[in-house]
Chains A and B, each alone.
Chain A
Amino acid sequence: MDVLSNLALGFGVALTLKNLTYCFVGVFLGTLIGVLPGIGPLVTIAMLLPITFGLDPVSSLIMLAGIFYGAQYGGSTTAILVNMPGEVSSAVTAIDGYQMARQGRAGPALATAAIASFVAGIISTLLVAFFGPLVGKWALEFGAAEYFSLMLMGLVFSAVLAHGDLVKSLAMVVVGLMLGIVGTDVTSGLPRFSFGVVELLDGVGFTVVAVGLFAVAEIVQNLARTEKVEVFTKDVKNLMPTWADIKAITMPTLRGTALGSFFGALPGITASVAAFSAYMLEKKLAKDPSRFGKGAIEGVAAPEAANNAAAQTHFIPTLTLGIPASAVMALMLGALTMQGIQPGPQVMTSRPELFWGLVASMFVGNVLLLLLNLPLVGLWARLTQVPYRWLFPAILMFAAVGNFSLNNSAMDVYLCAAVGVLGYVFAKLDCQPAPLILGYVLGPMLEENLRRALLMSEGSFAVFVTRPISLAFLLVTALILLAMIVPTLRRGRERALEEGDAG
């Protein structure tokens, strides 16, 4: 009951006209910047920071948080419409969302993204409200060994992500791993694969890779077709999801929410990992996994739910422990400090109106986002009716501007173009970009945590099995491997037996 009375206090704060306005401004800005690649919540919040000094702390926090989770909604829009992930975490949404748009189902895809995000937002906010402090303490248990085992589980799981040739998928994972380790090595401080280029010391940015591999490569492919093929079908079906669609996305949304909430609460993991895991899980559970990558609606619902859930539970380590889970969270902590509030565990007791006001505003913000996004679906969907010869230069321009604006660096634009060419070559070779992205995201985290765990255990591998959480992840990994190998073996044996019978 304590939580309920606290929530009542929170809603009292969040529902004042002033805070409602700031919440709306936040989620509206978030949606806008989510649509544009490169201009992410980090840059926006940084630029708005000086303005917030004049506001009272609750209002500024409500607005800044709105920008952050609003961007998760907006990021899916361009991913679905033009295969250009506006945010890091919507790269996964692009895989099936864009195919849906090409089949004339941009409306249902966009609506699915909005609905899945909304459901996930509400559920995960409840989690923050009821279990925040508890989960925060538990997240402290995660050290290098736990992260390594968790990542390993993710990577093994990703074998499921492959559709088509397993060897090609593995090759793409390896290319992704290699791209991911470009830059300064965290453990030794030495540069790897940077070829003396200063701009490469920080590695190849995610936006560069995702936009190049998805958006640019897609444009080159479309332009390469000599026969006159329309990229988008002219026959646009219903704008809203059908009843069958709703039924199809219910469970994926809930599973995505669960995975996203889990990953979001861990300070060492990015939201894109949550989106990937949710996608892989759906593909594994699907009756017909071959539909994935060709416009499966579950492939939109699950990662979108995971994204938004992670965006909300990301606040747990930040608010309950004062530990920033990402750069954006570090910025929010900075904003609080500037307001004279020391973020950390004591905020919940010393400034309850701040913590609970923010939690309540997340409910309000998610409702506002749904109201804002659903009516826009029709408008956005009409974008696919624009002739491609007008659309592609605009996409390329946004891709270039977005990449440039990240670091004010022309190098990123060149790199993105180069990755685009690479993406075209991969497409010609029938290699999927998704395993590459996965290797790129997980690889460096896997390596960093493996080396840190061994550094701290003085080289003893026992640390991975003596720590219970790590051991649990490893056991699950072993189970997944068995579950994948056993049927293959049995099938192989059956085939051998059949052949034996025939012969």
Chain B
Amino acid sequence: MNRWASRAAAAAAIILTAGFSGAALAQAGYPDKPIRLIVPFPPGGGTDILGRIVSDKLSTTLGWKVVVENKAGAGGTVGLDAAAKAKPDGYTLVIAQTSNLSIAPSIMSGLPYDPVKDFSPVRLIASVPLAIVVGVNSPIKSMGDLVAAAKANPGKLLFASPGNATVAHLAGEYFQKIAGVKYTHVPYKGTGQALPDVISGRASFFVASIESATAQVKAGQLRAIAVTSLKRAPQWPDVPTVAESGYPGFEAITWFGVAVPAGTPAPIIARLDAEVSKVLDAPDVKERLNGKADVGPAEFAALIKSDHDKWASVVKEAGIKVN
């Protein structure tokens, strides 16, 4: 008897909640089936972890069924393309980042999607500054030293980056332009391969996400000389920004956000925005996302636009090849 009673109560509760949220929502009953969250990178990377945090929270706190689908390929292009062509009914979300929405149009001539026309931004979820690091035995101790060394030997300094056309690469090119110096770009396949060369001093300096260099900086193998955000990074309060090192306004960040295919009904976007925002406010999520950047659709769209313009001019002036 007891079991029946509790089941009946549970059923009633479900019906009641469903009724309430149905009344509150213009799109009655959303979501009434599983939502897929496209992660355009393989399992395990930073983007994937972000995607899993969001899907996990939406599923456990709201009882939604959010399924992560890793559709990796071509630096995210394959996954973004799949999202762009999905039905705009609120059941397909995608985690997009700077390179997909703001850089890709400038470097890929055959980009199969249009970052502005094909997507509606929902919410920015994280923003990660880059670090400029050198080997601990390097004579370079500040951005001033770096510029002086580059000026003394034009083209001789070796600038390591985790890959061509990454935010880190463009940040290095951007700095060349702003500081009026010249160094040689050495691209690697990710940070893992670049670290030994930077630690041992074979490469002069390295631009990469803060996370990828934190361990070595703590262990005294690398020295951080600057971060690329406008404000100092909370993880590294002692490391100056490039902006405060004499280049005001210099900013290069990798951001991540949730987007949906263009044409998704506005009430659904608003609901998703509200729920994702709640996810980001959860204390355990806040703790894990060090560089939280919680802004809604309008500001997110503005960021996509301003970063697009910035990186397009860097790509053009640095003569980075368009494929």
- CB contact list, B221-235 vs A, under 8 A: 221
Q: B43 is contacted by which of A42, A188, A409 (Cβ under 8 Å)?
A: A42
> When the two chains form their complex, are residues B74 and A338 in contact, meaning their CB atoms are under 8 A apart?
no
- CB contact list, A99-143 vs B, under 8 A: 139-143
> When the two chains form their complex, are residues A42 and B42 in contact, meaning their CB atoms are under 8 A apart?
yes
Task: Specify the chain A residue showing the minimal Cβ separation from B43.
Answer: A46
B176 in contact (CB, < 8 A): no
A330 in contact (CB, < 8 A): yes
> When the two chains form their complex, are residues B320 and A189 in contact, meaning their CB atoms are under 8 A apart?
yes
What's the Cα separation between A103 and B26 when bound, in Å?
68
Most A CB contacts (10 A, CB to CB) among B81, B158, B184, B189 go to B189
A324 in contact (CB, < 8 A): yes
Residues from chain A with Cβ under 8 Å of B197 in the complex? 143-144
Q: Which of A1-9, A194-202, A247-255, A354-362 lies on the face that meets chain B? A: A194-202
Task: Specify the chain A residue showing the minimal Cβ separation from B158.
Answer: A456
> When the two chains form their complex, are residues B193 and A202 in contact, meaning their CB atoms are under 8 A apart?
no
Closest CB of chain A to B16's CB: distance in Å?
30
B154 in contact (CB, < 8 A): no
Closest CB of chain A to B189's CB: distance in Å?
5
> When the two chains form their complex, are residues A186 and B202 in contact, meaning their CB atoms are under 8 A apart?
no
B218 in contact (CB, < 8 A): yes
> When the two chains form their complex, are residues B74 and A337 in contact, meaning their CB atoms are under 8 A apart?
no
> When the two chains form their complex, are residues B71 and A42 in contact, meaning their CB atoms are under 8 A apart?
no
- CB contact list, B69-110 vs A, under 8 A: 69-75, 77-78, 81, 107, 110
Residues from chain A with Cβ under 8 Å of B184 in the complex? 455-456, 458
> When the two chains form their complex, are residues B196 and A140 in contact, meaning their CB atoms are under 8 A apart?
yes
Closest CB of chain A to B279's CB: distance in Å?
14
B277 in contact (CB, < 8 A): no
Question: Do A201 and B74 contact each other (CB < 8 Å), given the known contacts A50-B56, A189-B321, A408-B69?
Answer: yes
What 1/0 flags go to B180-214 for Cβ under 8 Å of A? 00001011111111011101101100000001001
> When the two chains form their complex, are residues A189 and B187 in contact, meaning their CB atoms are under 8 A apart?
yes
B31 in contact (CB, < 8 A): no
Q: Which of B17-25, B44-52, B241-249, B262-270 lies on the face that meets chain A? A: B44-52
> When the two chains form their complex, are residues B78 and A409 in contact, meaning their CB atoms are under 8 A apart?
yes
B144 in contact (CB, < 8 A): no
> When the two chains form their complex, are residues A42 and B215 in contact, meaning their CB atoms are under 8 A apart?
no
Closest CB of chain A to B233's CB: distance in Å?
15
Closest CB of chain A to B224's CB: distance in Å?
14
* Residues of B within 8 A of A (CB-CB), count: 53
* Residues of A within 8 A of B (CB-CB), count: 55
What's the Cα separation between A187 and B161 when bound, in Å?
11
Most A CB contacts (10 A, CB to CB) among B43, B221, B321 go to B43
Question: Do A323 and B73 contact each other (CB < 8 Å), given the known contacts A143-B202, A344-B219?
Answer: no
Closest CB of chain A to B37's CB: distance in Å?
13
Question: Do A140 and B200 contact each other (CB < 8 Å), given the known contacts A322-B216, A345-B221?
Answer: yes
Question: Do A456 and B74 contact each other (CB < 8 Å), given the known contacts A43-B43, A196-B110?
Answer: no
B254 in contact (CB, < 8 A): no
What's the Cα separation between A307 and B123 when bound, in Å?
44
A331 in contact (CB, < 8 A): yes
A378 in contact (CB, < 8 A): no
Task: Specify the chain A residue showing the minimal Cβ separation from B221.
Answer: A345
What's the Cα separation between A334 and B56 when bound, in Å?
17
B260 in contact (CB, < 8 A): no
Question: Do A267 and B192 contact each other (CB < 8 Å), given the known contacts A50-B52, A190-B323, A456-B203?
Answer: yes
Task: Specify the chain B residue showing the minimal Cβ separation from A337.
Answer: B211
Closest CB of chain A to B121's CB: distance in Å?
22
Chain A interface (Cβ < 8 Å from any Cβ of B):
42-43, 45-47, 49-50, 139-144, 184, 186-191, 196, 198-199, 201-202, 267-268, 321-331, 333-334, 337-338, 342-346, 407-409, 448, 452, 455-456, 458
Given known contacts A328-B44, A407-B78, what 10 new A-B pairs fall within 8 Å (CB)?
A46-B48, A187-B187, A188-B321, A189-B164, A199-B74, A267-B195, A342-B218, A344-B219, A346-B219, A407-B42
Chain B interface (Cβ < 8 Å from any Cβ of A):
42-46, 48-49, 52, 56, 69-75, 77-78, 81, 107, 110, 112, 158, 163-165, 184, 186-193, 195-197, 199-200, 202-203, 211, 214-216, 218-219, 221, 288, 320-321, 323
Q: List 8 A-B contacts (CB under 8 A).
A: A142-B196, A187-B187, A189-B323, A198-B77, A201-B74, A344-B216, A407-B73, A456-B158
